Amino acid sequence: MLDLWAALPPALQDVLFALALIAPGLLAGALVLRGLRPLPLVGAMLRRFVWVNALFVALIAVSVGLGVGLLAQERGLRQGSARAAEKFDLIVAAPGSEVTVMLAAVYLQPSDMALVTGAQYAEIAGAEGVAFAAPIAFGDSYQGAPVVGTTVDFVSHLAGPLAEGRVFSAAEEAVAGAYAPVDVGGSFTPAHGHGPMAEGDAHDGFAYAVTGRMAPTGSPWDRALLVPVEGVWAVHGLANGHAPDDPRIGPPFVPEMMPGTPAVLVHATELWGNYALKSRFTRGDLMAFFPGTVLAQLHGLMRDVRSAMSLMAVLTQVLVTLSVLIGLMILVRLIARSLALLRAIGAPLRFVFAVVWAYSAALILSGAALGLALGWVAARGISALVTARTDVLVTANLGWPEAHLVAGFISLTLFMALLPAWLAVRRPLLTDLRT
Amino acid sequence: MRACLLSLLLIAAAPALAETHDHDDHVAEAEGLRVVHAWTPATAKGADALVYMEVENTTAAEVTLTGGEAEGAELELVGFTYGAAGEAWTVLPGLPIPAGADLDLEPKVLALRWSSVPMDLTPGAELEIEVEVGGQHLHAHVEVGEAGATAHSHAGHNH
């Protein structure tokens, strides 16, 4: 049986799981409503207590929306951060914290780091199977946008063909990220450092001319300004990696003339080459790692948080629904006379039971549907906020996990709705008629 | 009398010998190639098991790790990738291990994949596998760890 389940396509597994979750609730409904037509009466009850009903629906919708929005948002954030790291095959840096280097090199969160020396870079770039090894030299900024020194190979690898203009060909030229604060044709003088403490006048007298703009990548690099690494070295008064009379930019660099770089992105000619290179450069004086691995480990640690979050979302929804059902029991007391009249004129107990259950079900289903919509809107809104704050493109859409959550919620609460219906038919008829 | 003394000596030495044997279980060695600390997380029958280990090449030549065999089934050498679509393991044709170098097969990096294991791999159990490296078939003991384990129980030991 398990083999058969495992052999099914994932999409079919999701559909079947959703159906299995919602089936008990629907089955209970089919049994309760079989052969009866309580809906006209339910419609009248919904209209009669419209504001109370609206409040109950809103309560359910908010709780469902919160759960759905949180789950969708968490997945969107996970996928967005993973997408942003996809182009960073293998990073080589001086020994230290992989997380720190990943945050600095992939997500452009500046950090003080030891440098890979010119000789080490030459060894990495010259290793068998290396298609290119791009220095990633950060430390400067312009209007909050990071200024990163690298090579032409890296620009092409990161974003493909430029959306506008051409790639840099001199140390004083730059390529802007898709949403960087300088237009093609403009120029800028970098500040030394990042944030409020950046020294705006440290590099006065030096300017980069922007010659091109990258296509969007969905990563913090969209806000960055990419310059030849030689420019970064030169602006800090260091050797530029080449002989004094050599005007070239880009590798190969003269090891003795290369001041060093915080990180090197290594791209292998073959996929397997990345693993061989990682093994080769994991040693005492260098650290090689896959950002994808570090990220997957971090996301793995969050898996327990995610499970707890899902459980809390379900519990919140059930608690809210329980409150609504308790409210309904009170409401049933208010309409007890009408229900007693129904019974007095010959309506069977099962019909009264069906009316109360269908009334509760209508509130639950409306609240769940509205909650799904609310969750989607919330997820989109929070995604836009996170994207604006982190520059990591987060797109949160509703998926099967949210569908399963709502299906499970509906099924459970439709069962819970049997309780007020049962209590309604157990009320003493004569007492209710006299009230 | 000599036999009696020898017996006593053997009894006294038994724990030490057992310890050596236990440690040897973690090492498979042939012609300068060693497989150390092979392990796999507990895996349910029918799922794919990922086997991790350290492969050491103490020879003077580069060798290639290509895969292995377990219970007559092929063990594929696979590499980990992670992106927006999630986690994936891609089959690799082989990985060179330079002379005097090591290669670590570790979670979310590299592994030997045993597809659709024919039985439950329960924590504490041991498996016998063959690791194909440098034309050699090294017979290695694989320790089955907990389902969520991230390293061999003896990780960090130099044996």
pLDDT (tens digit per residue) in A371-423: 999 999 999 998 898 888 888 888 888 889 899 989 998 998 899 889 889 98
Distance, in Å, from the CA atom of B59 to the CA atom of B99, rounded to the nearest integer, reads 6
Q: Does residue A274 belong to the interface with chain B, where contact is any CB pair within 8 Å?
A: yes
**Which residues of chain B lie closer than 8 angstroms to A7, CB-CB?**
none
Residues with Cβ within 8 Å of A77's Cβ and at least 6 positions away in sequence, in order, are A386, A392, A394, A396
Mean per-residue pLDDT over chain A, rounded: 90
Give the pLDDT confidence score for residue B18 in this predicted structure. 39
Give the pLDDT confidence score for residue B155 in this predicted structure. 57
Q: Report the amino acid identity of residue A375.
A: G
Chain A to chain B Cβ contacts (< 8 Å): 60
Q: Does residue B103 belong to the interface with chain A, where contact is any CB pair within 8 Å?
A: yes
Calculate how close chain A gets to B22, using CA atoms only, in Å: 28
**What tokens does A404 get?**
């399963």
- Tell me the average pLDDT across A184-194: 92
Which residues of chain B fall short of a pLDDT of 70? 1-27, 152-159
Distance, in Å, from the CA atom of A124 to the CA atom of A89, rounded to the nearest integer, reads 14
β-pair partners for A175:
A212, A226
Distance, in Å, from the CA atom of B9 to the CA atom of A389, rounded to the nearest integer, reads 72
- Rounded to 5 degrees, what are φ and ψ at A2? -65, -40
Distance, in Å, from the CA atom of A40 to the CA atom of A248, rounded to the nearest integer, reads 83
Nearest to B50 by CA among B147, B156, B154: B147
pLDDT in tens, A67-100: 889 888 888 889 999 999 999 999 999 999 999 9
pLDDT in tens, A333-366: 888 888 888 888 888 889 999 999 999 999 999 9
Q: Yes or no: say if A233 and A59 are a contact pair by the CB < 8 Å rule.
A: no
Distance, in Å, from the CA atom of A229 to the CA atom of A149, rounded to the nearest integer, reads 4
Percent of chain A with pLDDT over 90: 60
Distance, in Å, from the CA atom of A22 to the CA atom of A302, rounded to the nearest integer, reads 28
Give the pLDDT confidence score for residue B152 in this predicted structure. 67
Give the pLDDT confidence score for residue B157 in this predicted structure. 52
Q: Does residue A123 belong to the interface with chain B, where contact is any CB pair within 8 Å?
A: no
Query: Lowest mean pLDDT: which of A36-40, A191-195, A267-271, B116-120?
Result: A191-195
Pairwise CB contact (< 8 Å): A80 & B84: yes
**Which residues of chain B lie closer than 8 angstroms to A282, CB-CB?**
104
- Rounded to 5 degrees, what are φ and ψ at A7? -80, -15
Percent of chain A with pLDDT over 70: 99
**Distance linking the first and last C-alpha atoms of chain B:** 38
- Tell me the average pLDDT across A200-217: 90
Give the pLDDT confidence score for residue B15 in this predicted structure. 40
| Predicted structure pTM score | 0.80
Radius of gyration of chain B (CA): 18
Nearest to B103 by CA among B93, B91, B115, B94: B94
Option in A271, A280, A295 nearest B79 (CB): A271
Q: Yes or no: say if A166 and A211 are a contact pair by the CB < 8 Å rule.
A: yes
Helix H or strand E encompassing B120: none
Give the pLDDT confidence score for residue B25 in this predicted structure. 57
Pairwise CB contact (< 8 Å): A280 & B93: no
Give the pLDDT confidence score for residue B134 in this predicted structure. 85
- The runs of H, that is alpha helices, within chain B are 2-24
Pairwise CB contact (< 8 Å): B109 & A6: no
Pairwise CB contact (< 8 Å): B101 & A279: yes
**What tokens does A381 get?**
């809104």
Residues with Cβ within 8 Å of B66's Cβ and at least 6 positions away in sequence, in order, are B77, B93, B94, B132, B133
CATH superfamily label, B26-145? PCu(A)C copper chaperone (2.60.40.1890)
Q: Does residue B148 belong to the interface with chain A, where contact is any CB pair within 8 Å?
A: no
**What tokens does A272 get?**
């397997």
Residues with Cβ within 8 Å of A20's Cβ and at least 6 positions away in sequence, in order, are none
Pairwise CB contact (< 8 Å): A293 & B108: yes
Q: Does residue A80 belong to the interface with chain B, where contact is any CB pair within 8 Å?
A: yes
Option in B47, B84, B108 nearest A82 (CB): B84
Calculate how close chain B gets to A253, using CA atoms only, in Å: 26
Option in A79, A80, A276 nearest B95 (CB): A276
pLDDT in tens, A134-185: 999 998 999 989 999 999 999 999 999 999 999 999 999 999 999 999 999 9
**Which residues of chain B lie closer than 8 angstroms to A76, CB-CB?**
none
Q: Does residue A276 belong to the interface with chain B, where contact is any CB pair within 8 Å?
A: yes
Confidence category of residue A269, pLDDT binned at 50, 70, 90: very high
The ipTM value here is 0.77
Distance, in Å, from the CA atom of A325 to the CA atom of A423, rounded to the nearest integer, reads 11
pLDDT in tens, A212-226: 999 999 999 999 999
Residue B60's CB: how many other CB atoms inside 10 A? 8
Pairwise CB contact (< 8 Å): B92 & A272: yes
**Which residues of chain A lie closer than 8 angstroms to B80, CB-CB?**
290, 292-293, 296
Pairwise CB contact (< 8 Å): A293 & B109: yes
Distance, in Å, from the CA atom of B3 to the CA atom of A332, rounded to the nearest integer, reads 94
pLDDT in tens, B3-46: 444 444 434 444 443 333 344 555 677 778 999 989 999 999 88
Helix H or strand E encompassing B39: strand B33-41
In this predicted model, which residue has the larger pLDDT, B32 or A227?
A: A227
